[in-house]
Amino acid sequence: MKSLRSQSIVLLMGIFVIASPAIAQAEEMTPALGGAREYTLLAGFGTSHPGFGETRTRVQTVEAIGRFGYFLSEETGKGWYRGRHELLVELPIHLVVDPQTGVMTGGYLNGSWKFTGAKEKGLYPYLFAGGGVLFVDLGLPTMGSRVNFCYQGGAGIQVLIRNDLALTAEYRYHHISNAGTADPNEPLNSSKILFGISLFR
């Protein structure tokens, strides 16, 4: 687990290094949620939960996720639940480090609600849920197909560090299975902890 966290930290630092030049060259300081788009890079780690549902195998991953967000509405609602609807498109790379090395990658489509009731404090909590398709190359005999499906849901918070830039922290529940298209079909029910940086435009 210590090695997994170390790899996650290195990956997160790499994301900040890659993102820094683009951030530094930003010409306009648009309001965090005044624009229509959001670009986020996330990194972190995940682990499956043997005994939860039909999951039997402990699988640990280092995570890298690129996210594009498009706001579907202006602010709506009142009080603490005031916010905006957002569509999130994600390109994930799940690097499996235990029980053996491998890669899971594909695409996700999520719906999100971004709370704006605390925007005066520079805080933007959010909820999201969605799913997608994953190509899984783990070599586990309990997974009967390399083409799998995912559904997920989670919560996070974004903290402004500049008018158009925020630090992001997120938890998500993540389910993978082949939806009964092949046998055997052991699902992977996992938790993922992610940190990253978000740019609003």
State the Cα–Cα distance between residues 90 and 69, nearest whole angstrom: 9
C-alpha gyration radius of the chain:
18
Mean pLDDT of 140-154: 93
Residue type, 35: G
Q: What's the pLDDT tens digit per position in 12-61?
A: 555 554 555 444 444 444 455 677 899 999 999 999 999 999 999 999 99
Q: What's the pLDDT tens digit per position in 161-171?
A: 998 999 999 99
In the chain, the largest separation of any two C-alpha atoms, in whole Å, equals: 53
CB 47, CB 59: distance < 8 Å: yes
State the Cα–Cα distance between residues 128 and 122, nearest whole angstrom: 20
164: nearest Cα among 4, 64, 39: 39
Res 37: pLDDT: 94
Res 61: pLDDT: 97
Q: Which two tokens stand for residue 178?
A: 């082949």
Domain count of the chain? 1
CATH code assigned at 173? 2.40.160.20
The range of the structural domain enclosing residue 60 comes to 2-200
Question: Percent of the chain having pLDDT more than 70?
Answer: 84
DSSP code, position 82: -
> Considering the entire predicted model, what is its pTM?
0.83
